Amino acid sequence: MSDKSVRIGGASGYWGESAMATPQLLAAGVDYLVYDYLAEITMSIMARARAKDPAAGYASDFISAVLKPYAKAISEQGVKVIANAGGVNPMACGEAARALIEEQGLDLTVAVITGDNLLDELNAIADRAPTEMFTGAAFPDKNRVASINAYLGAFPIARALAEGANIVITGRCVDSAVTLGACIHEFGWSGSDHDLLASGSLAGHILECGPQATGGNYTDWEDAGDIANIGYPIGAISSDGSFTVTKPDGTGGCVTVGTVSEQLLYEIGDPQAYMLPDVVCDFSDVEITQLGTDCVRVSPARGYPPPDQYKTCLTYSEGFRGGTYFSFYGFDAARKAQKFCDNVFARARKILRGHNLGDYSETSVELIGSDSQFGEFAEDSEPREVVAKIAAKHRDAAAIGILLRELTGLGLATPPGLSGFSGARAKPSPVVRLFSYLTPKQSIAIHIDVDGRSIDFADYEGQSFHPEAISRPPDPVINESPDESVTVPLIKLAWARSGDKGNKANIGVITRDPAFLPYIWAALTTTSVAARFGHFIDGGPGAAKIEKFHLPGSHAINFLIDAVLGGGGVASIRNDAQGKGYGQILLAHPVAIPAAMANKLE
């Protein structure tokens, strides 16, 4: 195996992110720029845009904020660009890119990958009526479906590069595929190189959320310094699958074992069965090592043959939702806010009955600042200021409009201290739900268009995967009981990062010192974690379904908590619908450690 390496810059983690990454990474010198724009909700938004305008439905800022100002520099430096900016209309995105390239007189070849969008096959899919892969729910009413997309992999991207593409635009592919596709092309990895494919996917996973690997959302956030000038990550990937993570010189942020470890555990679910279309990844033994200032090495991962089906995500509408935020000041701020919310719903429901609209299907009141989000673990201190978030769902937009009107209409009859910053009154918005299922690979027709030249692409077929057959690492064990113990909050011993997997919350916990792991493992039981998040879990802590995984390589633990996000995404009316703050909540969990160990803590 050669010692060749390739430098890839992670330039975007979502649609709407700052455009500062592209010039920064070009100045630092990279071989590839990769852009990840898509999430399930993004697809539904783009689908609605395309329904109104056949030329819309893609990430237009890829054209306006990336290619328009920097295509010349990209061409001059010989940098290749890979982006899933195509959304639900990759061909239109490709046409816009080619028009701009021609306008600027550049010699850049654009390839567009299609085949993921299955909306035209809705009737046939509805007749087949697959069930939801996580909950077993029945297929939704096809008249309410907004988007259907299979998650494609990296091999079509590698083929497009082999055909001479300088810019590759895809629709829905897995986030890490934009990086893995470059690795396959550069190193000649094949479909049977499972460990290498898993390692390239891990590199893509670290890069796919941009500055989340370089100090963004980091537990030790003050170490990130100048986040206004935060550096975007660069992965220098070797042909053996190992890689280093750095950032451009002179930028803010930081690259540490903590920042990269947090991103490794971000939204991975089962770390030994992270399923992608090209490979099933096992990240449990991956080691992360600090090589120097802002330079971290990540060891190769383990891989298994790819699955024989593509994960497919469908979004559909389910009524409407609406809400707003406002604040109360002074004595009894929390009680005054709750009284106000109770009376808003009382007024709105009276009007609903008068219009025979039926009650709200779900309501939510969260008093931010009163510690209500911590349930039984809330502190007793009485806040002098709270922000109240009030929201509801209903099948009819008019019912949400009534609630929003009464929110402002009660302003002169409220307890004292009401305030808030707002412009126009909030409006009802559609509730979009996610429905995931599996599509056999052989039923998907993938096409690659290279500046008008069409290529049919056949992906690797794969095979069924059985997670129960995986050999799991042993649980960490406390070797001897200390003479004296001290209880400290988890944040003293670990970093944490959380996010969503549909309606599940994923919380990764990484030890600051491997010696802490047995004590953290013993303290953070599924029962204690259920109690801490019980007020969020559908049915309370007794109904909790929590999975707990050990990652010995990174001295970490990953938790997956089911039915804890109120439906997740735009289907939820909670303040934290994606579980982004759950890691911060868990960091308050008490952990008993030996007194001698506690004495060494900073």
Q: What are 560's strand-pairing partners? A: 506, 547
Domains in the chain: how many in total? 2
From its phi and psi, is residue 330 left (phi > 0), alpha (psi between -120 and 50) or beta?
Answer: left
Kindly state whether residue 369 falls inside one of the protein's structural domains.
no
Kindly state whether residue 347 falls inside one of the protein's structural domains.
no
Kindly state whether residue 582 falls inside one of the protein's structural domains.
yes
β-pair type (167-170, 80-83) = parallel
Q: Is the pLDDT of residue 1 over 80?
A: no
Q: Is the pLDDT of residue 114 over 60?
A: yes
**18 vs 22, 46, 62, 459, CA distance in Å?**
10, 19, 11, 34
**246 vs 178, 214, 380, CA distance in Å?**
19, 8, 44
Which residue, among 136, 249, 157, 265, has the nearest Cα to 205 in the 3D structure?
265
Mean of the pLDDT values across residues 194-210?
Answer: 98
Longest dimension (CA), the chain: 76
Confidence of residue 377 (pLDDT cuts 50, 70, 90): low
Kindly state whether residue 581 falls inside one of the protein's structural domains.
yes
Q: In this prediction, what percent of the chain has a pLDDT beyond 90?
A: 87
| CA–CA dist 522, 478 (Å, integer) | 8
579 and 373 Cβ atoms separated by less than 8 Å = no
Q: Is the pLDDT of residue 602 over 80?
A: no
pLDDT at 197: 98
Residue 585 exposure: Cα atoms within 13 Å on the Cβ side = 28
533 and 560 Cβ atoms separated by less than 8 Å = no
pLDDT at 370: 85
* pLDDT tens track for 383-413: 899 999 999 999 999 999 999 999 988 888 9
**84 vs 197, 458, 526, 574, CA distance in Å?**
19, 19, 37, 29
Q: Which of 254, 287, 306 is at the close of a domain?
A: 306
Question: Which residues span the domain enclosing 507?
Answer: 473-598
Residue type, 425: R
The contacts of residue 438 (CB under 8 Å, 6+ apart) are: 130, 133, 309, 310, 311, 312
What's the first-to-final CA gap in the chain, in angstroms? 44
Q: Whose structure tokens read 């900073």?
A: 602
| CA–CA dist 275, 176 (Å, integer) | 12
Q: Is the pLDDT of residue 373 over 60?
A: no
Q: Is the pLDDT of residue 421 over 90?
A: no
Q: Which of 306, 332, 358 is at the close of a domain?
A: 306
Q: Which of 306, 330, 357 is at the close of a domain?
A: 306
Q: What are 500's strand-pairing partners? A: 505
Confidence of residue 348 (pLDDT cuts 50, 70, 90): very high
Mean of the pLDDT values across residues 201-213?
Answer: 97
pLDDT at 310: 97
Confidence of residue 502 (pLDDT cuts 50, 70, 90): confident
Q: Is the pLDDT of residue 423 over 80?
A: no
Q: Is the dihedral of CA 264, 265, 271, 276 positive or negative?
A: negative
Q: Whose structure tokens read 């690979």?
A: 441
Confidence of residue 372 (pLDDT cuts 50, 70, 90): low
Q: Is the pLDDT of residue 380 over 70?
A: no
**357 vs 113, 317, 353, 394, 406, CA distance in Å?**
46, 19, 6, 9, 16
Mean of the pLDDT values across residues 53-57?
Answer: 95
78-92, 366-380, 581-595 — which is least confidently predicted? 366-380
| CA–CA dist 234, 295 (Å, integer) | 10
| CA–CA dist 590, 576 (Å, integer) | 23
**567 vs 71, 122, 312, 374, 579, CA distance in Å?**
41, 23, 18, 19, 11
280-284, 343-347, 418-422 — which is least confidently predicted? 418-422
Rounded to two decimals, the pTM is 0.95
Confidence of residue 38 (pLDDT cuts 50, 70, 90): very high
H or E element: which one contains 41? helix 40-52
Confidence of residue 44 (pLDDT cuts 50, 70, 90): confident
Q: Is the dihedral of CA 81, 85, 89, 92 positive or negative?
A: negative
Question: In a 3-state reduction of DSSP, which class is residue 186?
Answer: helix
| CA–CA dist 243, 547 (Å, integer) | 29
pLDDT at 2: 64
Mean of the pLDDT values across residues 426-431?
Answer: 92
| CA–CA dist 161, 156 (Å, integer) | 9
Q: What are 436's strand-pairing partners? A: 313
Mean of the pLDDT values across residues 59-76?
Answer: 97
- The tokens describing 523, both together, are 């303290």
* pLDDT tens track for 294-320: 999 999 999 999 999 999 999 999 999
* pLDDT tens track for 141-156: 999 999 999 999 999 9
